[in-house]
Structure 1
């Protein structure tokens, strides 16, 4: 028997236990809310045997949700993992160019996860992963106030005072970038190591800003995202953050722990060692 179609006006009455179908799919880690809406308008989502036409539809516990012929399991509790991304992997589930992806390299025992933000192909370091799309979305928003901190090697000779204007932000080719805190850690010959902290993290922001200033980036390592640290996690390693710690950190909103502490910045990595950020720590500390 073919499935019926539910029109946009046939939404369920809202209760405290019900939520929009797009949000439910995002929480389940199936896709983002925006992609969920596209699936719905493409008639690829059905609830209890009824094909949906509107993302305004409400679902509750026990509803049978099918996406493109696949049953969506009940949403699990939100979980977060730290992953040490190596250079050479793209942060996407499928790459049109056939390049290796982060998700292909994860252990087979992990559930389906999505990334909190991205790191480009040649960038390394901390990438947060979660099974909850809504959580990922909320942590990526600039309003969350979470500082991303990086160690960056650039080619060029840098005077510390030349970095101060970055704190006011700048505009490059019509794109406005917010305040950037950059500190010179070490100048060695024609290369310099910087610690860079920012909150928004637009696409390739650090590389574009440094290139604009005449300092091309040769290495970029993210060492922290909000209160979560790369620590001593080995390259390619993945480790779940204990649920208690996730709840503690998320419950503190935009407190002091989300601010960059320049006195506690990591040292540049040695030329003979893998890049790490000191001791592993998920503790709530002022950054």
Structure 2
């Protein structure tokens, strides 16, 4: 019943706040979801070109979520989603240093010495990419599968780096992001990480930096099994 004319006002968990006639929902517990992104969908809320987005293909009964980082339209694999903006920001920071691992199918001649040299980093068109772990898994004629690990997450990073080695990336799948693994989560499915596991994987430092909240209630429960 009181109009606030200054932002300098401390609110409690029991206060009810309205903005432009709409009630602001209560703070919810920090949550994290794994999503197996299919190729052909864009990592954005709305696409001006009218292409399908990850939010078009996610189940409708999820809470409001943000993506942690992005995957290119044709890149498949693990995309992390959270309801906590602070957690999203912290996990995207290069300083957090979480390793992101990819499997890449490439066309061209793979030189293992060139892959080993990526540990020293590489400059491509004036952009320097830090140390990259790269290994050859198998070759099939003029095609090969590689596994790569990197910590920066710059735009089109894997394709630019491998392109500089004369390799054309024909398929790219992110298989892990920090401690979280794609494993056998089917394409197009989403899975919530249990709160206890999330706390353990984040650790106290990241929880504090993100301002994560594990005391609040879950307002919109979700299945603890993969959902398409």
- Say yes or no: does 1:167 pair with 2:132: no
Structure 2 runs not aligned, ≥5 long: 207-228
Q: Shift in Å at residue 5 of structure 1?
A: 5.8
If asked which structure has higher relative contact order (CA below 8 Å, sep 6+), I would say 2
Query: What is aligned with 1:103?
Result: 55
User: CA RMSD for the aligned pairs?
Assistant: 1.9
- With over 3 angstroms needed to count, the CA separation of the structure-2 counterparts of 1:65 and 1:151, relative to structure 1, is farther
Cα deviations by residue, 1:222-258 (Å, 9 ceiling, x for unpaired): 000001000111000101011110000011659xxxx
Q: Shift in Å at residue 177 of structure 1?
A: 1.1
Cα deviations by residue, 1:96-144 (Å, 9 ceiling, x for unpaired): 0000000111111101101111111000001111111111111111111
Structure 1 runs not aligned, ≥5 long: 19-58, 255-287
Query: What is aligned with 1:121?
Result: 73
Corresponding pairs, count = 203
Q: Tell me the distance in 2 between the aligned counterparts of 1:171 and 1:65.
A: 51
Query: What is aligned with 2:108?
Result: 156
Q: Shift in Å at residue 72 of structure 1?
A: 2.7
Tell me if structure 2 keeps the 8 A contact 1:89–1:122: yes
Query: What is aligned with 2:222?
Result: none
Q: Shift in Å at residue 71 of structure 1?
A: 3.5
Query: What is aligned with 2:146?
Result: 194
Larger Rg over CA atoms: 1
- With over 3 angstroms needed to count, the CA separation of the structure-2 counterparts of 1:132 and 1:247, relative to structure 1, is same
Tell me if structure 2 keeps the 8 A contact 1:153–1:218: yes
1:64 pairs with 12, 17, 39, which one?
A: 17
Query: What is aligned with 2:89?
Result: 137
Tell me if structure 1 keeps the 8 A contact 2:36–2:185: yes
Q: Tell me the distance in 2 between the aligned counterparts of 1:213 and 1:69.
A: 57
SS at match of 2:162: helix
Cα deviations by residue, 1:174-229 (Å, 9 ceiling, x for unpaired): 22211111101111111111000001111110011111221011000000000100
Aligned structure 1 segments of 4 or more residues deviating by more than 6 angstroms? none
Cα deviations by residue, 1:151-170 (Å, 9 ceiling, x for unpaired): 00111111211211111112
Q: Tell me the distance in 2 between the aligned counterparts of 1:92 and 1:71.
A: 26
- With over 3 angstroms needed to count, the CA separation of the structure-2 counterparts of 1:166 and 1:65, relative to structure 1, is farther
